[in-house]
Amino acid sequence: MSLSGLFLLVFLALHAAINFTALISEDLYNAACAFMGSGFVLPFVPVLALGFIVHIVWSMRVEFQNWTCRPSAMRYKVPTQTKASSWASKNMFVLGVIVVGFLALHLFDFWSKMQLPELLGKHGAENPCALLVAKFSNPVYCVLYIVWFVAIFYHVSHGFWSAFHTLGLSNSKWLPRLKCLAKIYAVVVFLAYLAIPVGILCGFPKDSTCELPAACAQEQVQEEEAVVEDGQVSETETTEAEGAL
């Protein structure tokens, strides 16, 4: 589980860096997505999927072993609060469930429309940046994804140093350093992901030519027509009132 976790930590950082390009330039982000859908990257997608599956299945196995090894009489006792155990370390499985749940939403929102068609020999989204802007222009989606980013932050802040420790690559001198590096990594990745929905809500990328989704555009047209009709009704009422006087 430690090896698969380290593999996913590298992917997480690379994915954050690629997504961050959406705040710099629409063309740059679309070019990055085109590269991710190229024949050079697509063969590694099954490897990445296998990494996720191994990590999830192994973590469930470890959690089950911990549960069965604990006497039933102790399962209902209040756990002791020690300084050695952080909140994240005590809730890694719960955090993992939250991460996986939102990962499914993320795959449905983006991956299924970008990279999956390329794997099937079809063309993905013509303008990935437009898809990104359309999703994160909705504040509700932004809040949901921020919750996901918070869960990832706590999950990796413990998982980073714990992976090295489990592999025997730490000691009394290096363990505090690894914990410090884990916090730095978690903060940087969290801010990188957080900047995407917040930046899009603030109008980035500046060179974006993305149009509103059809449903939103139609709704906006209806609102504008309603405003025009209200204005015409008001003018008619005013004219009639003046005529009556």
Residue 220, pLDDT above cutoff 50: no
Residue 221, pLDDT above cutoff 50: no
Predicted local distance difference test score (pLDDT) of residue 219: 45
Rounded Cα distance between 153 and 135, Å, is 22
Predicted local distance difference test score (pLDDT) of residue 139: 93
Per the listing, tokens 């914990």 go with: 179
pLDDT digits (tens, 9 = 90+) for 91-146: 888 899 999 999 999 999 999 999 999 888 888 888 999 999 999 999 999 999 99
Residue 87, pLDDT above cutoff 70: yes
Q: What is the pTM of this model?
A: 0.76
Residue 215, pLDDT above cutoff 70: no
CB under 8 Å, gap of 24 or more: what pairs does 179-186 form?
Answer: 182/156, 182/157, 182/158, 183/157, 185/9, 185/13, 185/156, 185/157, 185/160, 186/153, 186/154, 186/156, 186/157, 186/160
| Confidence class for position 216, pLDDT limits 50, 70, 90 | very low
Task: Work out the average pLDDT over 32-60.
Answer: 91
Three-state DSSP state, 39: coil
Task: Work out the average pLDDT over 225-232.
Answer: 55
Please, what's the b/e burial string for 189-204 (b: 16 or more CB within 10 A of its CB; e: otherwise)?
Answer: bbebbbbbbebbeeeb
| Confidence class for position 69, pLDDT limits 50, 70, 90 | confident
Eight-class DSSP state of 205: S
Task: Work out the average pLDDT over 216-222.
Answer: 46
Task: Work out the average pLDDT over 82-90.
Answer: 70
Residue 13, pLDDT above cutoff 80: yes
Predicted local distance difference test score (pLDDT) of residue 237: 56
CB atoms within 10 A of CB 143: 11
**CB neighbour list of residue 123: distance below 8 Å, 6 or more residues apart:** 117
Residue 15, pLDDT above cutoff 90: yes
Per the listing, tokens 């970008």 go with: 114
Q: Domains in the chain, please, with CATH?
A: 2-76+86-229 (1.20.1300.10)
